[in-house]
Amino acid sequence: MALPNDDPRFPELVSLACHDLRTPLATVAGFATTLLRMGDIDEQRLRYLTLIDAAAAQLGEIIDDLGVAARIEGGRFEPAGEPVDSLALVTMAAGQLGNGSVRVSGSGAAVRLDRDLGVRAVRSMVTAARRHGGLDTVDVTVDGTGVELSPVTAETAAIVRGDDLRDLAAAVASRSLEAQGATVTAGDGALRIALPSAG
């Protein structure tokens, strides 16, 4: 029997699906990595294996996002809150994006956040701002516990903030930050994140 998405068991079902998907995904990713390391592969097979490896990594991130969303919705979200510098967090996210797709400036402050989820959230929101806004580069300015992404156009603000559910990673990013005590607002060409102070 199908569960409607307002059924209280729905988040549990999503978590179970995420868990069950991890084993076959690990098998696909593992064999792709093994074959890539073996070498002596012709150019066409190398291209296919590289695509399989990249797609497996992308699918893994989607499963992770669904798992976080299910835990939040099911009231089982337990982030590992720890003191982390806001500028260091944003710099880590920028490092994962690479290719000059984000410019970071400002000065940080100690915030209390699950570091990995925080890095992932900033990375997802920058990616959404670029993808849906047609941008090459996004500026991220850190001012103590505040983080501002710009430009974020009026047309894309709802997507980047997660109100318009056209980008799963951005929607989960916003919800995970808010579940940790942050606030996420958009307007005047920017997205602003107020992170919870570690003090």
Long-range contacts of 154-157 (CB under 8 A, 24+ apart): 154/189, 156/128, 156/129, 156/132, 157/186, 157/187, 157/191
pLDDT in tens, 87-140: 999 999 999 887 788 999 999 999 999 999 999 999 999 999 999 999 999 999
Give the per-residue pLDDT at 3. Answer: 44
Locate all alpha helices (DSSP H) within the chain, ordered by sequence.
10-38, 43-73, 86-97, 115-133, 154-161, 168-179
pLDDT in tens, 177-194: 999 999 999 999 999 999
Q: Does the domain at residues 82-194 carry the CATH identifier 3.30.565.10?
A: yes
Instruction: Using pLDDT thresholds of 50, 70 and 90, give the confidence band for residue 5.
Output: low
For every residue of 31-53, DSSP letters joined together read HHHHHHHH----HHHHHHHHHHH
Distances (CA, A) of 101 to 57, 87, 112, 139, 190: 20, 17, 26, 9, 16
Give the per-residue pLDDT at 6. Answer: 65
pTM of the prediction? 0.84
The Cα 61–Cα 119 span in angstroms is: 13
Cα 138–chain centre separation: 16
pLDDT in tens, 55-93: 998 899 889 888 989 899 888 889 988 999 999 999 999
Domain-wise residue ranges, the chain: 10-73, 82-194
Which residues, 6+ apart, have CB-to-CB distance to 128 below 8 Å? 156, 159, 160, 167, 169, 170, 173
pLDDT in tens, 144-179: 999 999 999 888 999 999 999 999 999 999 999 999
Give the per-residue pLDDT at 41. Answer: 85
